[in-house]
Amino acid sequence: MEENQKSNKGIYIAAIVLLLLVNGVLGYFLYTSNNEKKDLEVAKQELDNQYQGVLTELEARKAELEQYKGKNAELDSVISERQAEIEKYKGELEGLLKKGKITNAELAKARELIDKLRAENKDLQAKVSELTQANQMLTQENQQLGQNLENEKKTTEALSAEKQNLSQKVVLGSLLKLNNLTVTGIHIKNNGKEDETSRLKKVSKLKISFETGENKVTEKGNLPLYVRVINPKGETIAVRDQGSGTFKLADSGDEVQYSRVADINYQQANKKVSIDWGSNLNLEGTYKVEVYQSGYLVGKGEVKLK
């Protein structure tokens, strides 16, 4: 009886010790599990903070790359591929970080994705630097090209001006200096004989006479001289049927009428020339005559008819 009591007491003690051990183990596992849970939550929060930082950098790089899109087809393809890769990593990572609970394996996967995003950011930064440098070089080349074009333009303008000046000198050098220019009223008798007169009623025509002088610069051959006969009112007498027309004055560019053209065969030697005009001589007063070559006045004279 006494031995049975001792045996039962031992069993009770063993059971109590076993319960204490079980409770201790359970408490340890519970404590460890809670700590791991807290550690995972802290790690998850840190990863989320890291992700936000990387995301900010990535968005800045993407914005920088956008300014280069549309300038190069190959570059556009590279930028699009990189952006697609980044969006893929972002989608996976955000899916993990949005989960209420995260395992160690998922935590490791999230860290791996962040590392990949950091690597992408580094590559994009290098690409931005490369493009910026290339763009600066292109800008410098364009500026240099623009400067070269401007210099060429100035050189061309200078040469053109020089050519124009030389051409102007040649034109001026080729002008005749008409000598002994006279304007005389002529009366034509019935027998065809011509007499000089200053009486308006008897004047049949005006005879304009001059000598060309010698000029070795003037080209040989046909030389047109434009003659203006101006009546006492200051009007150029022009009759289209008799070859009248218009020409431009070289100095001003103004267009003026001429009465007729005298084409002379000039051989760089002095030549006597006589030109007649017989239309619309019906006003008393002074008639002026002006002779032009290449738009420049080269001789003038006048006669008074009473």
Local confidence band at 27 (pLDDT 50, 70, 90 cut-offs): very low
Count other Cβ atoms within 10 Å, centred on residue 125.
15
Local confidence band at 256 (pLDDT 50, 70, 90 cut-offs): very high
Question: Smallest Cα–Cα separation from 113: which of 130, 137, 96?
Answer: 96
Domains held by the chain: number? 2
| 13 and 60, same domain (yes or no) | yes
- Check pLDDT > 90 for residue 276: yes
pLDDT: which is higher, 44 or 234: 234
Answering whether pTM is above 0.75, one says no
pLDDT value of position 112: 78
Q: Confirm if 114 and 93 have CB atoms less than 8 A apart.
A: yes
Residue 22 three-state SS: helix
31-70: per-residue pLDDT in tens?
444 444 555 566 666 766 766 766 676 676 667 667 666 6
The residues facing 297 across adjacent strands are 292
Q: Confirm if 246 and 215 have CB atoms less than 8 A apart.
A: no
- Check pLDDT > 50 for residue 291: yes
115-169: per-residue pLDDT in tens?
777 777 677 677 767 777 877 887 888 888 888 888 878 767 765 665 565 566 6
pLDDT value of position 58: 64
Q: What does residue 298 show for φ and ψ, rounded to 5 degrees?
A: -115, -5
Per-residue burial over 155-176, b = 16 or more CB atoms within 10 Å of its CB, e = otherwise: eeeeeeeeeeeeeeeeeeebbb
Query: What is the residue range of 107's domain?
Result: 2-140
Between CA 62 and CA 86 the distance in angstroms is: 10
| 193 and 275, same domain (yes or no) | yes
- Check pLDDT > 50 for residue 29: no
Q: Which helix (H) or strand (E) holds 221?
A: strand 221-230
Question: Smallest Cα–Cα separation from 175: which of 223, 142, 143, 138?
Answer: 223
Q: Domain end: 109, 140, 171, which one?
A: 140
pLDDT value of position 233: 96
> 56 lies in a domain?
yes
80-117: per-residue pLDDT in tens?
777 777 777 777 767 766 766 666 676 677 677 767 77
| 134 and 8, same domain (yes or no) | yes
| 123 and 197, same domain (yes or no) | no
